[in-house]
Amino acid sequence: MILRGARVALSPERAERLDVATAHGSVKTMGRVPGRKGVDCSGYLMLPGLINAHDHLEFNLFPRLGNGPYESASAWARDIHNRFRETIQEALEVPLRERLVWGGIKNLISGVTTVCHHNPWNEVFDGRFPVRAVRALGWAHSLEFSADLRERYVSCPANRPFIFHAGEATNGAGKREMHILAGLGLFAANSVMVHAVGLDRESLALARVRGCSVVWCPSSNLFTLGKTLSRSVLKSDLPIALGTDSALTAEGDMIDELRVARQICGMSEARLYRMTTDAAARVLRLSHGEGAIQAGGVADLLLFRDRGLTPAQTLLSQVPEAALVGGVPQMVSADLATAWRTSLRQLSRFHRVTIRGRGTMYLRLKTPPIREGLSLAGRLVAA
Ligand SMILES: [Zn+2]
């Protein structure tokens, strides 16, 4: 496939007008491609597909549950299981496979093309799933909910990220948990700590020395704990990737998460761009060029309307009009679908869906049944 005439993001600040040719799932060439074959992308800005470093894909049809802030994630979990038992039961009646696919769609429509799912691998990810799920990783839930945390860590190859919830508490327990984890050898170069709200000065220093990484889920942290990573952590050189977490606790999708993150401490658009692209790829040790647009790398590409802004400014202010995974269009907005209809025949087989606040779009994969009142990460879905 040849995408012609877009400005192509080469960094958070820089984009150049280039044709991008894809083949066999990768970017083949970038530059001037002779001929007229392909789709017209003039007037659009091309960004790399985003990386969501933390989600529980099966929980994205749930409403946000809880009346926090709580002193810990376990206090939150106990409370919602007591008070929202029926709501949870009802949401669990939708088959797992269906919920996972909707979780993939939530990610796709917000520009995420690679997601790190924090729960067991499901065969649905091996088939035609809307986005890539990261497979080469080790994981455990947390110190409290994984009695075998240390064994799981030891059995994870050192060249793969090991992902676990860490220090998800504000009552001193979070700090103590960080110190216990350090004692267990969990402060290591491949450790990816999700939430890490309990990082204090001492554990932050150790994490930096050992080369640990953190996944930041600001809206989820603020909802459950009323607090998120400290300024000193956010301003440190600790590698940080952004994660949405699931609809149970998060504000919405990756677009919402970027907005919340931006509001918190005036972090630059460029840093947030990196937290969802190349920095996230390094944290998750992705090795196929994810998080960048480059010859030989995966052709995971987004198109936004070009308003003359930088790639980072565009990401923080707009929603994507198209998302390609491995060079295959998976989501195309209604406007772009009209423009591309003659050059991209397969669009006639795409499935139309309207999602509140995200507009009408065409998806390559058939959506699972759209049940009465279906809400995807807080947004109503209609056929
Ligand atoms: Zn989580």
Complete DSSP assignment for 180-245? HHHHTT--STTEEEEE-TT--HHHHHHHHHHT-EEEE-HHHHHHHHS--S-HHHHHSS--EEE---
Ligand 1 geometric centre to CA of 174 (Å): 15
Question: Does 2-48+292-346 carry CATH code 2.30.40.10?
Answer: yes
Q: What tokens does 364 get?
A: 């390559």
Which residue's structure tokens are 């008070």? 83
Give me ligand 1 centre to Cα 183, in Å.
Answer: 23
How far, in Å, from the CA of 117 to the mean position of ligand 1? Answer: 9
Residue 46 Cα to ligand 1 midpoint, Å, equals 30
CA 54 to ligand 1 centroid distance, Å: 6
CB 257 within 8 A of CB 217: yes
Distance 1 CA to ligand 1 centre (A): 37
Nearest in space to 324 (alpha carbons), one of 42, 47, 7, 5: 47
What's the pLDDT at 325?
98
**How many other CB atoms are there within 10 angstroms of residue 124's CB atom?**
18
Residue 326 CA to ligand 1 center (angstroms) comes to 27
Q: How far, in Å, is the centroid of ligand 1 from the Cα of 282?
A: 20
CA of 211 to the centre of ligand 1 (A): 21
Look-up of token digits 């088959």:
95
SS3 142: strand
Rounded to the nearest 10°, the torsion over CA 43, 45, 49, 55 is -90
The pair of three-digit structure tokens given for residue 371, joined into one six-digit string: 């049940």
Nearest to 194 by CA among 172, 222, 221: 221
3-state secondary structure 34-59: CCCCCEECCCEEEEECEEEEEECHHH
Å from CA of 193 to ligand 1 middle: 10
CA 62, distance to chain mean position in Å, is 18
The rounded Å distance from CA 57 to ligand 1 centre is 10
Taking residue 370's Cβ as centre, other Cβ atoms within 10 Å add up to: 15
How far away, in angstroms, is 142 Cα from ligand 1 center?
10
Q: From ligand 1's centre to the CA of 118, what distance in Å?
A: 7
Ligand 1 center to 146 CA (angstroms): 13
pLDDT at 238: 97
All residue ranges of the chain with pLDDT < 70 are: none
* pLDDT score of 265: 79
d(CA 73, CA 136): 27
Residue range 277-302, pLDDT digits in tens: 999 999 999 999 999 999 999 999 99
Please tell me the predicted confidence (pLDDT) of residue 122.
98
What's the rounded Cα separation, in Å, for the pair 302 and 364? 15
Q: How far is ligand 1, taken at its centre, from the CA of residue 243, in Å?
A: 9
Burial class of residue 342 in the structure, from the number of CB atoms within 10 Å of its CB (0-12 exposed, 13-18 middle, 19+ buried):
exposed
Q: Do 208 and 232 meet the contact criterion of CB atoms below 8 Å apart?
A: no
For the chain, what are the domain ranges?
Answer: 2-48+292-346, 51-283
Please tell me the distance from the alpha carbon of residue 316 to that of residue 314, in angstroms, as a whole number: 5
Closest CA to 22 of 325, 240, 258: 325
Spatial distance between the Cα atoms of 204 and 211, rounded to a whole number of angstroms: 10
Distance 197 CA to ligand 1 centre (A): 13
| Amino acid in the structure at residue 113 | T
Q: In the prediction, which pLDDT does 171 show?
A: 82
- H-assigned helices in 226-300: 231-235, 254-265, 269-275, 278-283
35 φ, ψ to 5°?
95, -175
Residue range 166-191, pLDDT digits in tens: 999 998 999 999 999 999 999 999 99
CATH code of the domain made up of 51-283: 3.20.20.140
CA of 216 to the centre of ligand 1 (A): 10
For residue 74, the surrounding DSSP H or E stretch is helix 73-83
Tell me the CA–centroid distance for residue 245 and ligand 1, in Å. Answer: 5
